[in-house]
Structures are given as C-alpha cells and as structure tokens.
Amino acid sequence: MSDFTLNLNTATPQAIAEIMEMDNKFIGTMNYLGLAYFWGHEYKHSLRDATISQRKRIHRKGLERNVSFLVPNQEAWDIIKEVIK
C-alpha cells in the first residue's frame, strides 16, 4: 500500500460520521486511526487539541503499557506528557 493523505476538511458530514464510527470500533486495537475519542473526561482538555499523530502515539503507548485513559491515573498522564511536549 502506498502512502497517501486524506484531507478530512473536504469530506462530507456523512463521510466523517462513517469514518468516526469505524474508528470508534478500532479503539483498543492497533488499527486506531487517531480520530475517535478514547479518553475520559479527565484528559479532555489535554487530548482534544492533540494532532491525529499524537493521539495515535498516545493510544499505542497505552496499549503497549496496558494503561487505561478512561479513569484518571498517573501512567496515562505520563504517556500524554511524553508525547505532547
């Protein structure tokens, strides 16, 4: 598969909704695309403005370290700080 860029700014609302639904199913897997919210309220302000790439890296590190982002914990904060410097 070749590298490509998907400009979500040009996607229709229906297309965005379908992509978000698909990405919600990918939360907790290595297939996560970086669009859907995988975190709880505690991390909302830190992660909602994160880039797609940052979200993917944080999610992957959480999977690798078996860290949940649904409940507040220091390990999750450490991962977020590690990626968003």
Task: Evaluate whether residue 1 is within a structural domain.
Answer: no
- Report the Cα 49 to chain-centroid distance in Å: 11
In a domain, 32, yes or no: yes
Please give the Cα distance from 83 to 85 (Å, whole number): 6
pLDDT tens digits, 14-72: 999 999 999 999 999 999 999 999 999 999 999 988 999 999 999 999 999 999 999 99
Question: Token digits for 52?
Answer: 């797609």
Position 4 in a domain: no
CB 79 within 8 A of CB 62: yes
The domain in which residue 43 lies consists of: 10-83
Q: How many domains does the chain have?
A: 1
